[in-house]
């Protein structure tokens, strides 16, 4: 009996030794050459794998950083880590990273339950992308927010929440890393990544409706009607296809208050102190 046990132990042990030797040589032969520099850079990155940098993930971005020369490196930017992370990496590599203005996602729609009351009921799958193709939306606005929360579910940082009162998604600027997931998911292209502005004060038009003013107003009280009042105040603003767009170069502090106060429908949102109260920021 004991011989059997000993024989078994010897056989198993020798199998284990042989397997170990094979595995050792196999590991040597098929070893993946990792750039140690890239490994270190990857450690500095947020590891969100969100793809906001335009790369396949954080490891891919780290590899790109490690192999880049000074000029190429200037074009690399991780919006999630921001300037802080980029400066760290730059220090490691001995390059310099150009200053990037911090950005945040903003929603170009103010079709709240109050401004744009529901006209019909929707009982299908809660998905904006599906509803967008099925019909115009509960509010009747063909460019407005569908309020079904695809952006909320797809935000990798949990920065977007549905505001129960307004029915609209609300971006939390503290959590938002401007990775652009919401921009890609929104079937109506309502999100934009915009510079946060000095002291977090921004000015933008919260409307994307390109219909004529009278039609747009039928569905939503806060629609931009393309009246061009804002363009008179600030000549930089262009009004095209019945829709005003405030360029990011417009200084929010100088013009913000006046623009927001003079917009007849309240489509312009000013996130400064005296401006119209706004939940977006």
Partner 1 sequence: MNKTKTFHVGGIHPDKFKITTDMPICEAGIPETVCIPVKQHIGAPAKILVQKGDRVKVGTLIADADGIMSADVHSSVSGEVIKIEDTTDAIGYLEKMITIKVEGDEWEESIDRSPDIVKEISASSQEIIKIIREAGIVGMGGAGFPTPIKLDIPQGKKVDCIILNGIECEPYLTADDRLMTEKAEQIIIGAKILNKALGIQKAIIAIDENKPRAIEIMQKLTRSYVGVNVAICRTKYPQGSEKQLIAAVTGREVPPGCLPIDVNCVVQNVGTVYAVYEAVQKHKPLFERVVTVSGNDIRHPGNYMVRIGTPATYLIDKAEPIEPAGKVIFGGPMMGVAVTNLSAPITKTTSGVLLLKKESVFNPEQTACIRCGRCADICPQGLEPFAISGYVRRGEYQEAKKIHVLDCTECGSCSYICPARIPLTDFCKLAKYEIRKKK
Token pair belonging to 1 = 């009996």
Q: How far is the CB of 96 from partner 1 (least distance, A)?
A: 38
> Rounded distance, CA 187 to CA 6, Å?
70
Nearer to partner 1 among residue 78 and residue 146 (C-beta): 146
User: Which of 48, 55, 113, 129: binder of partner 1 (CB under 8 A)?
Assistant: 129
b/e per residue 218-240 (b: at least 16 CB within 10 A)? ebbbbbbbbbebbeebbeebebe
Query: For residue 169, what is the enclosing H or E element?
Result: strand 169-171
247 contacts partner 1 (rule: CB under 8 A)? no
211 contacts partner 1 (rule: CB under 8 A)? yes
Q: Which stretch binds partner 1 (CB under 8 A): 33-41, 42-50, 126-134, 224-232?
A: 126-134
> Rounded distance, CA 192 to CA 243, Å?
15
Q: How far is the CB of 64 from partner 1 (least distance, A)?
A: 24
56 contacts partner 1 (rule: CB under 8 A)? no
Number of residues this chain uses to bind partner 1 (CB under 8 A) = 18
Which burial class, exposed, middle or buried, applies to 37 when counting CB atoms under 10 A from its CB (0-12, 13-18, 19+)?
middle
Nearer to partner 1 among residue 219 and residue 244 (C-beta): 219
180 contacts partner 1 (rule: CB under 8 A)? no
The DSSP secondary-structure symbol of 102 reads -
156 contacts partner 1 (rule: CB under 8 A)? no
Q: How far is the CB of 61 from partner 1 (least distance, A)?
A: 21
Q: How far is the CB of 124 from partner 1 (least distance, A)?
A: 5
142 contacts partner 1 (rule: CB under 8 A)? yes
214 contacts partner 1 (rule: CB under 8 A)? no
> Rounded distance, CA 247 to CA 8, Å?
79
Look at residues 209, 203, 204 and name the one whose alpha carbon lies nearest to residue 188. 209
């Amino acid at each position: 009996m004991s011989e059997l046990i000993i024989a078994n132990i010897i056989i198993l042990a020798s199998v284990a030794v042989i397997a170990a030797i094979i595995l050792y040589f196999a590991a040597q032969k098929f070893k993946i050459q990792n750039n140690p520099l890239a490994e270190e850079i990857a450690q500095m990155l947020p590891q969100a794998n969100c793809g906001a940098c335009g790369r396949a993930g954080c490891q891919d971005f780290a590899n790109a950083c490690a192999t880049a020369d000074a000029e190429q490196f200037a074009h690399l930017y991780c919006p999630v880590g921001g300037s802080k992370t980029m400066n760290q990496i730059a220090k490691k590599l001995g390059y310099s990273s150009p200053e990037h203005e911090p950005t945040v996602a903003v929603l170009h729609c103010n079709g709240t339950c109050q401004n744009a009351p529901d006209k019909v009921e929707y009982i299908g799958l809660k998905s904006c992308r599906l509803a967008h193709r099925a019909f115009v939306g509960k509010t009747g606005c063909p460019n407005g927010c569908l309020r079904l929360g695809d952006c909320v579910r797809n935000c990798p940082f949990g920065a977007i929440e549905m505001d129960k009162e307004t029915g609209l998604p609300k971006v939390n600027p503290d959590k938002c890393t401007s990775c652009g997931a919401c921009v890609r998911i929104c079937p109506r292209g309502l999100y934009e990544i915009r510079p946060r502005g000095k002291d977090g004060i921004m000015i933008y038009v919260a409307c994307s409706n390109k219909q004529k003013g009278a039609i747009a107003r039928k569905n939503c009280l806060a629609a931009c009607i393309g009246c061009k009042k804002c363009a008179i105040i600030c000549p930089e603003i262009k009004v095209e296809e019945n829709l005003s767009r405030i360029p990011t170069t417009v200084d929010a502090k100088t013009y913000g208050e006046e623009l927001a106060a003079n917009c007849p429908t309240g489509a312009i949102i000013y996130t400064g102190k005296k401006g119209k109260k706004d939940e977006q920021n």
